[in-house]
Structure formats: structure tokens, C-alpha cells
Amino acid sequence: MSIFGNLRGLFSSDMAIDLGTANTLVYVKGRGIVLSEPSVVAYHIKDGVKKVLAVGEDAKLMLGRTPGSIEAIRPMREGVIADFDTAEEMIKHFIRKVHKRSTFSKPKIIVCVPHGATPVEKRAIRQSVLSAGARRAGLIAEPIAAAIGAGMPITDPTGNMVVDIGGGTTEVAVLSLGDIVYARSVRVGGDRMDEAIISYLRRQQNLLIGETTAERVKTSIGTARMPDDGRGTSMQIRGRDLLNGVPKEIEVTQAQIAEALAEPVQQICEAVMTALETTPPDLAADIVDRGVMLTGGGALLGDLDLALREQTGLAISVADEPLNCVALGTGKALEYEKQLRHAIDYDS
């Protein structure tokens, strides 16, 4: 019996995909998250013909370091598909990588989309997934997936507030009875933070750094509020001196990075405040009791919960696995499809 059970598990190819701006995560029914890779595709261009060279981790290493004949691109921008063909190639690659061989059946795939995605953007995501070999493509709103993944009781008749800070967008949502009461999507996320660090160092230090370095700075010493000693920890970074054009190394401190990130952090705080202002009073009372849950990679920014607490006066907590919340939630929607079918959109 167990052999048949294992076989069925092997051929159950239904999956949930968190198609993120920065990372793509794949959840396979019954197996959990089996893949987490950067959303990057590298092409080799010869005589005007594009050929996929690398996808995911290998392609990310090439970002900003490619010769003329190779192009490394991120097909997702601000949570939606910016480059249709490349996104399709990337989804195909990840589906193949997960199954390692051709399965007997075409999988059913559920993908999460930002709440603010337009019908055209949703159609593009659905079309890409179907072209990549899916039998059916369902869409679920990102805030619902994030809240499910964070273990919030969203089906209860009480207010739950989730703030999902991804690579391209921040989704602020108030949920009750398994659906969205209020949601707002602001196009601020990890990418905007990287850009803020790059432009700050260009202005203040006359140093030009790439996206990879900016991301390393953000994850190593990034913080949402000024360190108590006015300086904080520091790290060495390398870039190009804009005054004389030669490479140079400088030291950056946490205080400088907090100053650089002040604007994107403020935009996230404002989005949360706006959501609280427009929430019906009874649900707002529940949120005072329960607090706000932070999910997404951006929730890992140092002291972001404290910065939000100072602004809102609410209890702010960070989910256990903020990076995986949306993928886990989308996966749970696949596992418990009957209970959550109102949240999954299969047709359009």
C-alpha cells in the first residue's frame, strides 16, 4: 500500500509558485518547498538569436558582470511580469528542475499575484504558466497567501493585518473571514531599498556600486532606524570612484545606511498608517489586540519592526519564516483547496 502511496506522491505534480521579483519559490503538493532560486535568466545572444544559458542561482552570479554577447535579466518587475518570454523560460526551467523528468500528467499550478495587479498583468502570469506546461493555472492574492503562510487565523470573523514586503512591492492588507477587507499595494520593496543605497553612496561618497553590492550591504548592516550610538557597525565595500574613475574601497556605517533607507522605510510606514485609517472600527479594534504581522524578505531588515512600532504604536511581529510565507501559504491553498476555493481564481 505504501508503495502505491509513494508512487502517487511521486506523480502528484501539482504545485504552487511564488513568482517573486527577487526570488521564485516552488512548493510541490505533499513535499513542501522544494526550490528557492533568484528570479534571473541569463541569455547568450548570437546572430540575433537568444539561447538560455543559465537560470536562477547561476544566472544571478552573472548580473552586472556579463560581456556583450551575454545578457542577464530579471523578468519580474514590481511583482508582475516585465519580460513575457523570459518569464516563461524561467517557469519552464523551474518546473523541469523540480520534476527532473517528464511526468505523466501536466501539473495544476497556483501562482500568487500582487493585490494591485491589473487584469492584463494577471492574464500575462496565467498565460506564462499555461505556456510553460500547466494543466490549469490558478491565481491567489499575495496578502492572503502571506497570511496563511504566517499561520494567521484568517478564516475567523476577526481582523488580521499582514504587511508583506517583497522585492518589488509591499502589500498591506486587512483580512477577515478568509478574504481581503482592505488592501493596498505600494511599489516599494527590497529593490527600491537597493536603489536608495546606490544613490546615497553616489551622492555622499562619490562611489558607484552595483546592485549585488547594494544588496549585500542591505542584508549585512541594513537597518530601519538610527543606531543608538549614532554609528553602529560598519563594513568595507568596493566600487568605482566617480571623481577619478578608478576602483576604490571605503567603509560604510549602519548610520549611513539607515539614512539611505529612510525614504523607502517611511513609505512602508505610511502605507501601514493609511491602511489603519481606512479599516472599519471593529476590525481596527481586533488589530490593536492582535498586532501586525510582517512577512516577505523585506521583513528581515534590521529594526523594521521597531520603526513601525514607533510610528503606529501597535505590536509588530515578524513571521517565523518571512521569506517562505507566501510560498507556504500558496502551497496550503493547494493542499486545502476546498476550504480556500473562494480565494483562488481559476478563470479569466
Tell me the β-bridge partners of 73. Answer: 41
101 annotated as a binding-site residue: no
Q: Is 28 annotated as a binding residue?
A: no
169 marked as part of a ligand binding site: yes
Question: Is 141 marked as a binding-site residue?
Answer: no
Longest Cα separation, the chain: 72
37 is in an annotated binding site: no
Q: Annotation-wise, does 168 bind a ligand?
A: yes
Extract the runs of DSSP E, i.e. beta strands, from the chain: 15-19, 23-28, 32-38, 41-46, 49-55, 70-73, 76-77, 80-81, 108-113, 136-141, 160-165, 170-176, 179-186, 207-208, 234-241, 247-253, 292-295, 316-318, 344-345
Spatial neighbors of 61 by CB under 8 A, at least 6 apart, are: none
Is-contact 325 171, C-beta < 8 A? Answer: no
- Dihedral pair phi/psi, residue 269, rounded to 5°: -60, -40
**307 marked as part of a ligand binding site:** no
167 marked among binding-site residues? yes
- Residue 216 annotated as binding site: yes
Annotated binding residue 129: no
Q: How far is residue 138's CA from residue 108's CA, in Å, rounded to a whole number?
A: 8
Which residues 6+ apart lie within 8 Å of 4 measured at CB? none
> How far, rounded to the nearest angstrom, does the alpha carbon of residue 221 sit from its chain's CA centroid?
20
298 is in an annotated binding site: yes
β-pairing, 108-113 with 136-141? Answer: parallel
Q: Is 124 annotated as a binding residue?
A: no
**Closest of 154, 342, 187, 347 to residue 264, by C-alpha:** 187
Tell me: is residue 217 an annotated ligand-binding position. yes
Task: Compute the distance between CA of residue 348 and CA of residue 343 in angstroms, rounded to an integer.
Answer: 14
151 is in an annotated binding site: no
- Determine whether 102 is exposed, middle or buried from the number of CB atoms within 10 Å of its CB (0-12, 13-18, 19+): exposed
Residue numbers in the known binding site are: 21-23, 167-169, 215-218, 297-300
Binding residues for ATP: 21-23, 167-169, 215-218, 297-300
